[in-house]
Structures are given as structure tokens and as C-alpha cells.
Structure 1
């Protein structure tokens, strides 16, 4: 079967899930696909480009989650949870997002969705983008920590509770800016 971008990406996701980001290797990936490393670079210019494609895949999964019909706070909490879930679906998914070299179309769509909710809540464009950065930074930082060591130290229910608490703190900080 000839290689294409989707086959390489699928195999890269499988390798990431199996060995994690520290052991992720284009050489191992090429061997798993039965090709030389150069064949991968026909589809992705570099290892970083392949990792960026994985980040795009994660962002696409987060963006695909429908928003609830609730108010802006409920929608922000749902967006935060969707991002966390998408990152947790892959070993070191949060680190992959954190190491993205440049946001692609799906990462930009994810962030634009977040900013749109904040703009509709009444924030100006600059404040909405800043608030979006704060929320995504919290989600990513929490999830990096969770994937690095949380699984061994706390139950999933406890991690969910802590995550929800942190999101509520961020949203609570935004309430005065949107008028409640």
C-alpha cells in the first residue's frame, strides 16, 4: 500500500500512544511502516511538521465537540473539557500541543471558537484573546502535569475534580469582565 499523509499520521499517533513523546522517532515510525525515513519526509517535511500534524489532529478532536446550549461560562467549561479530553486521548498529548511550532487551521479554529464565546459574552477582541490564552494555558498546564505524574498519584475522579475547580477559578475571574 502506498504511503499518504493520513497513513503516516495514523501510524505516528499509534507510535506516540505506545511510546510517548520522549521515545517518538521518525526512524521507528519508518521501520513500522516498512519504509526508509526519507519516505516520511515526502509527506511531512520534518519530525516537527509531523508532530504539528498530531497537534492539529488533537485540536480537531477538541473542536468537534459540540457546545452546550448554556451560557458563556458553561460553554467555556465545555471547551476546556473538550481540549483536556482530546489531549488525554493520546500519550503526552498536552506536550505535543505545547510544543506545536505554529498553530494550524484546526488549532486556530479551536482558539477562534473560544474567543467567539468570550466575544459573545461581551468582551472586546483583545480581552477575549487574552482570556482565551489564560484558559488554554491552564488546561494545557494541568494536563501536562496530569499526564506526567497525575495518573500515579490521584484517581481520575480526583483529577477531574481538581481540573473542574481550576476551570471554575478561571471562569470566576472572568465574570466581572463580562458583567456576571
Structure 2
């Protein structure tokens, strides 16, 4: 017998519920069954909207992006450097709002064309500044990948801003690596003060782009 669609169940509600549960369970614990239970429906009812978990993740990533670009100043900037800085700061802030946010976002396929609006603006800004289209894509995607990778590592240590996984106590790490003084001292640079670490790395990326393509 075919599953009937619940009149109260729509795609937006499913995605909002999934994003809320994500913060409780993490990506590994986020199942269609768990979402259905939260919505008080049978799991097959979700297949009216999503064929599988990846389709749901695609829509979750798209909704995460919608929320990111709704934040004032998250994508703006008068020149290419300001645009890169704003966009990647906004991306990091948005991903940190969700447990495993970087894992959900990475590799997901946006639905619709909302992302093309900002992409077109960014590529226009870059090409007007003197980048070729290929250079503009390399520059923006490199900064984007830096941010995704950075947040993935950050969330591996701090799944949420107020949490920290066991095994990342810097004093204990320093004692364990006492025979390797530089490596021991590096711990606080790698695993603490992520805000400063991110900003320093992003500045390196932006400076490198300018130097590589000779564009001021």
C-alpha cells in the first residue's frame, strides 16, 4: 500500500527539523528514522520529499546557505579582498552554528539557483578587478576550501562553541610530547584560539592570491 503524504509535512519543515536535530545528534546520528520520529510520522513519509539522506543533506546545506546570506554584511565588500574576507568569515560563522556544519556543507549540491546570485556578483567583481574568469574561480574556490577545511578541523576539536573533545588538553599534550619541544609548544597554536588562527590563515590566502596573480 502506498504511503500517503501527511498534509502537515512539507519539505521546509523537514529540513528545519533536521537542522535542529543535527545540533543534538551530530551528522552520524542524524537518520531519516530519527527525523520522522521527531515529526511524529512514519519514515516512509519523508521519501515523498527526499529519495535518500544525501538529498536531505543537499537541502540542509542549501538552507544553511540561505541563512548565511541573510546576515547583513556576510557576503559584501567593495573590492575583491573585502569580498573574500567577508564571504569566508560569514561561511565560517554559519558553519559553526551547527554541529558537524562543515561536514554537512562539504560535497553537498545546492538546490535551486540562490547561490548563483552571489557567485555572479563575486565573479563580476573579480573580473572587473583584472582577474580572468579562471583566476577568479581559482581564487574564490581556494579561499572557500580553506574555510571548509579549517572549520572541519575546528569542529573536530570543538563540536560546538561551548564543547571540547577529550584528548585536547594542552598541558597533558605538552607532557606527552616533552621530548619534542617545538611540537609540544605548537599545540596551543594549532588547537586553541581558533578565531585568530583562522584570520591569520585567511590573510595568508588573500595575500597569496594577490601575489600569484599580480593584482592589487
TM-score, length-normalised on structure 2? Answer: 0.75
CA distance in 1 between partners of 2:126 and 2:13 (Å) = 37
Q: Which residue number in structure 1 is paired with residue 193 of structure 2?
A: 158
For residue 151 of structure 2, the aligned residue among 143, 146, 149 is: 143
CA distance in 2 between partners of 1:44 and 1:141 (Å) = 27
> Are 1:11 and 2:17 an aligned pair?
yes
Q: Extract unaligned runs of 5+ from structure 1.
A: none
For residue 52 of structure 1, the aligned residue among 36, 54, 58 is: 58
Q: Which residue number in structure 1 is paired with residue 46 of structure 2?
A: 40
For residue 95 of structure 1, the aligned residue among 93, 103, 110 is: 103
Give the 3-state SS of the residue equivalent to 1:20 in structure 2: helix
Deviates more, 1:156-165 or 1:111-120: 111-120
Give the structure with higher Rg (CA): 2
Number of residue pairs the alignment of both structures matches: 179
Greater helix percent: which structure?
Answer: 1
TM-score, length-normalised on structure 1? Answer: 0.88
CA distance in 1 between partners of 2:27 and 2:78 (Å) = 36
Alignment of 1:121-132 (within 5 A): 121-132=129-140
Q: Which residue number in structure 2 is paired with residue 80 of structure 1?
A: 88
Give the 3-state SS of the residue equivalent to 1:179 in structure 2: coil
Q: Which residue number in structure 1 is paired with residue 32 of structure 2?
A: 26
Q: Extract unaligned runs of 5+ from structure 2.
A: 1-6, 169-187
Q: Relative to structure 1, is the Cα distance of residues 113 and 18 closer, same or farther in structure 2, using a 3 angstrom cutoff?
A: farther
Give yes or no for contact 2:77–2:86 (8 Å, CA) kept in 1: no
Deviation at 1:59, TM superposition (A): 1.6
Give the 3-state SS of the residue equivalent to 2:67 in structure 1: helix
